Each structure stands twice: as C-alpha cells, then as structure tokens.
C-alpha cells in the first residue's frame, strides 16, 4: 500500500477503484485492500464465530456456515486460538502435580502474570515495572484513586466526563464520599457544547485552566466508550499537571486500539480491562500503570502479601518489604486461569506493533466511514431516505477504530435485521449502533459485507 502514502481514505479508495477499473463501492476494492493487508494473517489467530452457532431464532435469510461479521471487539474481543491450549496446559498441570504448579512449568502460577507484563507494557507504551496485571478494572481504579486522590478543602474535585462509563462515575462518586466530601460539590463533570456530541479539546483544557486549583484529580477515559472519541491525552496530562492536578486515564477503550505512550506522556496513572480490544475473555485480568516518577513516593493504601517483594514473600515473617511503584499495589495472588487467555492474546499483539495496527485501523475505519457517507449521508433533497449520522469525530487523530452511528429512526429494528443476517454489533437505544472494526481480525471485506447488509436491513425496516 506504499503507493498510497499521503492520500486520505477517500483518495485511496478512488485510486484503487481506478486501478481496478471498478466503482469505488465495488467489493473488488475491499478484496484489493485485504490482499495488500500485511496484517491479514493475524485473523487466523482468533476464533471467529459461525453464524449458525449464534443464539438467534431467525437466521432464515443467510448462509449459516459462514463466519459472522464480528464488529463488537470494543465490547468483547474474540477468543485467541491459543487460549484453550494454554488453559488446558494449566488444568493438566493442576491435575497431575497439584500444588507443585505454583513453581513448576512454563507458567509457574506464583508469578505467571509477571511473565506477560513485558508484553502488556509494550501495548501501552510503558516500562515493564510500571505495569501490573491484577484484579478487575474498577477495582484497580479504586486502588489507584485511593493513592492519587488526596482531597483537601481547597483542592477536592475530580474532573470527569458527564457521560463517563457508569462504573467510573460510581467509583469517583464513592471515593469522594469516602473522604468525607460531597459529590455535588466535588464532581466536576464535562459536557459537550449544546448541540454537539463530543468534547472539544480546547474546552477540556479551558476547564482545567480555570478550575485547576480546585481539582485534585483529572480522571478521563482515553477513548470514550459511547462516542469513540480519542482524547488528547498529551495535552490534558500536560495542562492538568501544570495546574498541580494528578492526571489518570481509564484506558478500557484505548488499550489495544490506539497507540499509547503512557510513560513518555508522563501520565500519573492509568488502568484498563483486557476483555475488550485485548481479547482476554469476559472478566479477564485487568491492568494498572503507575508512572515510574512516583515509584518511591506514591504508596498503596490497601496492602496484601502480593505487594511484598517476591524474593522474601513466602518467608511469611509479617515484615512488609513493599515493592516499589505499581507492583506494591498488588494484593492477592492472580488467577492463572485468567493469565492464560491474556497471554494468548498479548502474544498475537507481539507479532506486530501498535503502530502497524493503527495504520491499518485508520484505513479500515476510514473505509467504513467512507461507505457510510456514500450511501447514508443526509440529503436534504431526499428527506424520506434513511440517513446515518456519525457521532464519532471525523478526524482519525481523534478516534480509535470505533464509529458510533446515529440513525434517523429507532434502531432496534435495524439492529435485529442486521443480527439475523450475521452481523454482531452493539446497540445503544434509542438510536445508536457502535461499530468497531478491529485491525487484528477484521477485514475490509467484513466492512463491505456489513455495508451491503445494512442496506438490506434498512430496506426491511422501511417495509410496513
Ligand atoms: C468496560 C469498562 C468498564 C468495566 O469495568 P469492569 O470493572 O471491567 O467491570 C469500566 N469503565 C470503562 C470506561 C469501561 O469501558
């Protein structure tokens, strides 16, 4: 694809269609992109569900033997092919050697998560010592806030999005109460301007500039789960810290989706789950990051034996030798059965780079956007024609792979029509579908098939 460097997606699609002598909307364009996709081989590292295996009552309209069009990796990533093998290895080890499994084999349970933290660190742009794999996301958010949210009567606010993910909202609210403050006074919520759907960077920065002295903690997401907006983490971190705030990010929708450089950006802390773009399976082992600049100064508030130095942890003398940095935040031993699928996925990430994935992602999502605009842009002359409005920013630098599509009518019927034609995506009533083409396993042909099926779904909708 080198010959298209410097062109935007529309120009690239036009150039390819001219080359092939077909229309820009032809499936041949998608096939061409797939043929030249240097990451195409990664799809076979995942198990793509067959349409016939989906729990749907009405599959009358499609060929069930085909793979579904899976566009919901933002909610639950696909199963890595090696996950089952690794799980079976550990179940076998348990069956055959019992407690010896703690220290034996290629994945000694007592430090198995440590063995994959270097892979994890690469995905988030951190040093290995800055990353811990442990607990669930919201649990980690709480543990980190206990140390980074230190409200005083002057500086007591947490800045977050008005429409933050509910768990983050509740976590912040309860942390504020825990310290004896009032969420009404101490939660500072950011909303888009009237009539707009996403936050402007300039507005976020302005609030931090104006209110910074009263803000203890800036706690935003990296990529917004609903709109798909990618925040300018560099500018937010820089501005927040200049005003004396700690700055942390919930990277649930950013990790494995966009390039992160948590270390270089100087982010104070971050946390993420691993079952979305990191494909570790429902409830998978979550991640936490604490910047190395805090390794000797920011201490965990809640302690457990897993925060004790591994070398002397099992001497059990009750004299804590706390590990520096994020490692000291570990409380319990980690479940090996969650380490296995995450290892399987991180090894696939390690076959490429986030930079290469992102390069494909920008074209893949741009191709989806291009086709949506082509078929469903609002046309004032044809107001009866169904149209689709993309909530997600059109600037690729301000989004990850997900597009949030807002429909002009209630979306449930469209969703059902898509579903019975083998499309798996996410619906947020009343009017939004979230579509996430994941560069690890989605193809350009998936996008083309999706667009054709969307046409059929909307046509079915219009029938009385
Ligand atoms: C998915 C998601 C969660 C889910 O939290 P869990 O603790 O993993 O259940 C929380 N916050 C955000 C922003 C998310 O996207």
**What is the Å distance from ligand 1's center to 284 Cα?**
11
Q: What is the pTM of this model?
A: 0.96
Which segments of 281-385 does DSSP mark as H helices, in order? 336-349, 354-376
Q: Any idea how long the chain is?
A: 464
Contact in structure between 158 and 176 (CB atoms under 8 Å): yes
| Distance in Å from the first CA to the final CA of the chain | 45
Q: pLDDT by residue (tens digit) across 391-426? A: 999 999 999 999 999 998 889 999 999 999 999 999
Among 72, 73, 75, 138, residue to substitute to test ligand 1 (most atoms within 8 Å of Cβ): 138
Residue 117's nearest CA partner among 291, 299, 269, 339 is 339
The backbone region for 6, taken as left when phi is positive above 0, alpha when psi lies in -120 to 50, beta otherwise, is: left
Residue 149: CB atoms within 10 A of its CB come to 23
Q: pLDDT by residue (tens digit) across 54-65? A: 988 776 667 777
Q: Whose CA is nearest to atom 10 of ligand 1?
A: 167
Q: Tell me how far apart the alpha carbons of residues 273 and 280 are, in angstroms, rounded to a whole number.
A: 9
The pLDDT of residue 2 is 66
Which segments of 277-353 does DSSP mark as H helices, in order? 336-349
Phi, psi of 288 (to 5 degrees): -140, 145
**What is the Å distance from ligand 1's center to 27 Cα?**
36
Q: Tell me how far apart the alpha carbons of residues 331 and 372 are, in angstroms, rounded to a whole number.
A: 47
Q: Which atom of ligand 1 is nearest to the CA of 276?
A: 1
Cβ(231) – ligand 1 distance below 6 Å: no
Query: How high is the mean pLDDT in each 10-residue block of the chain (464 residues)?
Result: 79 95 96 97 97 80 84 98 98 98 96 96 98 98 98 98 97 98 98 97 98 98 98 98 98 98 98 98 98 97 97 95 98 97 98 97 97 89 84 97 93 92 94 97 97 91 64
């Amino acid at each position: 694809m080198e010959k298209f460097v410097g062109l935007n997606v529309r120009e690239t699609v036009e150039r390819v269609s001219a080359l092939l002598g077909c229309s820009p909307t032809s499936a041949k364009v998608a096939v061409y992109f797939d043929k030249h996709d240097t990451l195409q081989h990664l799809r076979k590292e995942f198990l793509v569900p067959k349409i016939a295996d989906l729990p749907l009552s009405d599959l009358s309209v499609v060929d069930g033997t085909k793979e579904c069009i899976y566009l919901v990796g933002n909610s639950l990533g696909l199963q890595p092919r090696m996950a089952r093998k690794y799980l079976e290895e550990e179940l076998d080890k348990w069956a055959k050697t019992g407690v010896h499994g703690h220290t034996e084999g290629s994945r000694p349970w007592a430090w198995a998560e440590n063995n994959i933290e270097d892979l994890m660190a690469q995905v988030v742009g951190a040093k290995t010592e800055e990353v811990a794999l442990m607990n669930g996301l919201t649990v980690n958010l709480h543990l980190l806030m206990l140390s980074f949210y230190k409200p005083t009567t002057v500086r007591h606010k947490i800045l977050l999005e008005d429409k933050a993910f509910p768990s983050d909202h509740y976590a912040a609210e309860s942390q504020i109460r825990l310290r004896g403050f009032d969420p009404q006074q101490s939660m500072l919520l950011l909303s888009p301007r009237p009539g707009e759907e996403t936050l402007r960077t300039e507005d976020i920065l302005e609030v931090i500039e104006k209110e910074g002295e009263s803000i203890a903690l800036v706690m935003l997401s990296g990529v917004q789960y609903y709109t798909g907006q990618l925040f300018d983490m560099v500018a937010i971190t820089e501005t927040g810290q200049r005003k004396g705030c700690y700055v942390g990010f919930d990277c649930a929708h950013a990790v494995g989706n966009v390039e992160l450089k948590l270390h270089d950006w100087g982010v104070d802390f971050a946390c993420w789950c691993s079952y979305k773009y990191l494909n570790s399976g429902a409830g998978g082992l979550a991640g936490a990051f604490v910047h190395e600049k805090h390794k000797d100064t920011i201490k965990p508030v809640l302690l457990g034996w897993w925060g004790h130095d591994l070398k002397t942890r099992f001497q059990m003398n009750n004299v804590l030798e706390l590990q520096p940095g994020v490692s000291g935040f570990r409380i319990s031993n980690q479940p090996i059965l969650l380490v296995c699928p995450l290892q399987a996925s991180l090894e696939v990430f390690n076959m490429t780079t986030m930079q290469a994935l992102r390069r494909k992602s920008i074209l893949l999502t741009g191709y989806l956007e291009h086709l949506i605009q082509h078929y469903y842009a609002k046309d004032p002359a044809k107001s009866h024609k169904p149209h689709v409005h993309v909530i997600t920013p059109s600037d690729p630098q301000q989004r990850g792979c997900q597009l949030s599509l807002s429909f002009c009518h209630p979306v449930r019927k469209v969703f059902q029509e898509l579903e019975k034609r083998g499309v798996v995506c996410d619906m947020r009533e009343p009017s939004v579908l979230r579509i996430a083409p994941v560069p690890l396993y989605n193809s350009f042909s998936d996008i083309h098939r999706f667009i054709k099926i969307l046409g059929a779904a909307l046509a079915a909708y219009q029938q009385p």
